[in-house]
Amino acid sequence: MPKRLDFKNLRLCIDNYKADFLFIRDCGGYNADGNYRMEGLTKVEEKLEGRTLDFSKDSSGLSFLIDNHEVFHLPLKDRGTRTGKGFSLAYERIHPTEDGIGRMVMLSHGVDPYDPKLPEPRRSFLRHIIDNHLVEIYFKGRIHLKFHSWWQEPHWKYWTTTKESPKKS
């Protein structure tokens, strides 16, 4: 999704879809002894069932709130400047199998997210790296998308979130 629409997309998702999990971790860093660690340390791992997720953004940065209490603050010094992309949206889709367990459906670029041959998403998750932290917000069901513009034709599209399913022509 276009980076300039990050907070509009985030607001639309939080206001119109049911968030069920918030996960934030750093993207590696230095330990107290000065040694570098590649693995990220979890900062927030919160189930949101029966709770309210929100955010506020001001001159000090971006704060995530659960039930009106701040759980994490990002100063917004580096909001994905290396990639030029904003939040990404992924779907958790499970294809039924004979054993009843199912298998995760992984899509490549250029696939229509509304392809009727695909299973309906169980969950949607917004993801972004901000200030060297991975932020993931999980939502129940499908967050609807609409085409915004081309990033790189013919396969890479920018999408934006929307409240309703796009009309089929």
Give domain limits for the chain: 3-162
Say which residue, 45 or 93, is predicted with more confidence: 45
pLDDT tens, residue by residue, 49-97: 999 999 999 999 999 999 999 999 999 886 655 555 788 888 888 777 7
| Exposure of 163 in the CB half-sphere (CA atoms within 13 A) | 4
* Nearest-angstrom CA–CA distance, 34 and 14: 38
Give the pLDDT confidence score for residue 25 in this predicted structure.
Answer: 95
Tokens of 116: 């009727």
159: amino acid identity, one letter: W
pLDDT tens, residue by residue, 146-162: 888 776 666 667 778 88
Q: What is the pTM of this model?
A: 0.84
* Nearest-angstrom CA–CA distance, 113 and 164: 14
**Quick one: which H or E segment has residue 136?**
strand 133-140
DSSP states along 43-67: EEEEE-TTS-EEEEEETTEEEEEET
